[in-house]
Structure 1
């Protein structure tokens, strides 16, 4: 037993040392461009340019080392290897009808995406095979995944304005929150709460996963400029016009500007450099 405790203690110390040597990166998109911010040095780098499309969403496959994104104007889901020692290059995965948001399912190696004007949620595997459309609704915008309970959450953006959830096969669909125009969805896996950005009001709110206990978290004080959000360790990263913001959910209205770009920001992803170790250890 003493030997086991010693080994466990040394492993914890080793992981902490790795953690200290790593630094998270914020990946975000503007029209035609994907950029990276080093959150320690605040330096900004262009990863990909001249992409020929608005990019409203990003998500990471830590297992294989790719970031996926929908190219709305080019009708395709694309990816690029990240991080990479060589110059970043784009690989098209699968065609889609004006895809606008996507989420990665690391448990079953699938990509789920929304098609704004067809009102479909579709999926394929990481290589672009086994495509299937699991659901059709009103116009659909944002999407996120509750990995633990296996629910997809999505927002309708047509004649109805709702947040709904559905099983991964398209069954058990029901409305979680009514009368909201939502462009960003994310789940806090610490507190297991749903966060959402109300686009027309610039308001960030959260609720229990079943839609109850709604809390006003933060207001950007800007209308129709905030799009993407990403929750990590109970911190929310969101876009607001040309600004990228960090909102600390444990403190009411505590926020600060991480970066102000020259172009309108759209999608945002917090890349956790520890994620590759977590994935490889499972």
Structure 2
């Protein structure tokens, strides 16, 4: 689905079936939207913007793909296989598959192209950072008796944002220092979707799409109420800001 910030209209881009989609990323160079389907065990893509949103299969027979990150400049996509506990990489067309490393319950991957770091969430233990070539790897945030299923990077301010399953939205510098609580919903549930653009954080809370200022103590604004749970968000910068949303029924 696509939410238009200028008009608040919602447009259904495609119906890909009742499959869990926990991440979306975009190839700005070749104009494709990529996403993994967890319980269909594949990664697919479609042209965007385009009048033809026919799905193309990039990879099949995966274990349980959750996170994805596109590196257009180097012709790569990275993905997390939660069930296989692996980080892998392939070319944008799905060729040259390489298993890069193993983790403990990995769920999210985000890339910082400027500083050449990748950030990975192990859902109940930590957030860690690694060089693209895996030459350097270290933990920057430790979790205590909580789960984390979403995280994103603010590359303008070099900060990370994530939501604990206890309802706390937190932020820290990209070295793990200066941890702040942005807001708390005080409701225990799994939070799957978050994205940062400019001064705002966009996130999914059950069937709602919300926006909140990055400043501590800000109150969120509901942008959209849906009939299904919002599992992933990608903010696309074009004329106005368009938000693509994938739901789980």
TM-score in terms of structure 1 length: 0.80
Query: Any unmatched runs of 5+ in structure 2?
Result: 241-249
- From 92, 110, 119, the equivalent of 2:76 is 110
Q: Is the 8 A contact 1:59 1:67 kept in 2?
A: yes
Q: Is the 8 A contact 1:188 1:234 kept in 2?
A: no
Q: CA RMSD in A?
A: 1.6
Residue aligning to 1:209:
174
Residue aligning to 1:267:
232
Residue aligning to 1:58:
24
Residue aligning to 2:142:
178
Shift of 1:234: 3.2
Shift of 1:108: 1.2
User: Which entry has the higher C-alpha Rg, 1 or 2?
Assistant: 1
Matched, 1:162 2:126: yes
Residues 251, 162 of structure 1: CA spacing in aligned structure 2 closer, same or farther, 3 A cutoff?
closer
- From 203, 226, 234, the equivalent of 1:238 is 203
Counterparts of 1:217 and 1:251, CA distance in 2: 5
Matches within 5 A, 1:124-139: 124-139=90-105
Matches within 5 A, 1:27-46: 35-46=1-12
TM-score in terms of structure 2 length: 0.90
Q: Is the 8 A contact 1:52 1:73 kept in 2?
A: no
Matched, 1:83 2:40: no
Shift of 1:64: 0.7
Counterparts of 2:80 and 2:27, CA distance in 1: 18
Q: Is the 8 A contact 1:205 1:216 kept in 2?
A: yes
Q: Is the 8 A contact 2:127 2:142 kept in 1?
A: yes
Matched, 1:196 2:162: yes
Which of the pair is proportionally richer in strand? 2
Which of the pair is proportionally richer in helix? 1
Aligned to 2:220, the other structure's residue is in SS state strand
